[in-house]
Chain A
């Protein structure tokens, strides 16, 4: 039997993204990295179980199931990095403009 073809880069990216979303979602539920680590190992084991699946139909079924599973355990109020858009520090204390303030209306020519 010939070796199965290597996965495409699109496939790899998708699986990486799925894995990252799973891990980040668990991080939303537990902040403590010691507890999170145990859950991460469980997730990793789940991914490893399907490591050798190459059949596209089977893969599609697995992905559909995984996405549904992830949606079911999604955190309702996920953590946002403070200075990211949506974060609590987003656009707080913006530096004032450095250029001189010109009152265009007082100058009269407009």
Chain B
């Protein structure tokens, strides 16, 4: 019994001990590098992390989720009321869905100004908190 246990321990130990030795330095080495890179970007005031194409795709996905929106008519340049046939209350719902998607809060006056897909994309692009 004890011999078996000993043997099992001697087999198991090196694995347990060596695994973190391999993993930890890697994680530790990766962290400061990426953090330094992020800081560098922040200090030189690069644009926010979201690319324009990402924003466009996500805004269009949000709109596709609406029952009233015809996906075939949906483009980057479509206007909510004229092209997509949404009324003013639907526009409010679209803006709230975009808020949810990007985890931001759009003030009342600025939300009123968003009447096209393009305007929504531009608003997200100039909002640093959006992610």
Contact = CB atoms under 8 A, between A and B. Distances in A.
B104 to A, nearest CB: 7
A12 B88 contact: yes
B100 A16 contact: no
A20 B96 contact: yes
Contact of B92 (A20, A33, A81, A84): A20
Q: Is the interface of A mostly helix, strand, loop or mixed?
A: helix
Contact of A13 (B100, B112, B129): B112
Interface in B90-117: 91-93, 95-96, 100, 104-105, 108, 111-112
A49 B100 CA distance: 27
A36 B53 CA distance: 30
B89 interface: yes
A44 B112 contact: no
Nearest to B100: A33
Q: Is the interface of B mostly helix, strand, loop or mixed?
A: helix
B92 A19 contact: yes
Given A12-B88, A13-B112, 11 more contacts: A16-B88, A16-B89, A23-B93, A23-B96, A33-B100, A44-B89, A47-B89, A81-B104, A81-B129, A83-B129, A84-B105
B22 to A, nearest CB: 35
Contact of B108 (A20, A33, A84): A20
Contacts of A81: 104-105, 129
A-B CB proximity, top 7 nearest? A81-B105, A12-B88, A19-B92, A20-B92, A16-B92, A16-B88, A83-B129
A15 B108 CA distance: 12
Nearest to A98: B43
Interface string A9-27: 0001101110110011000
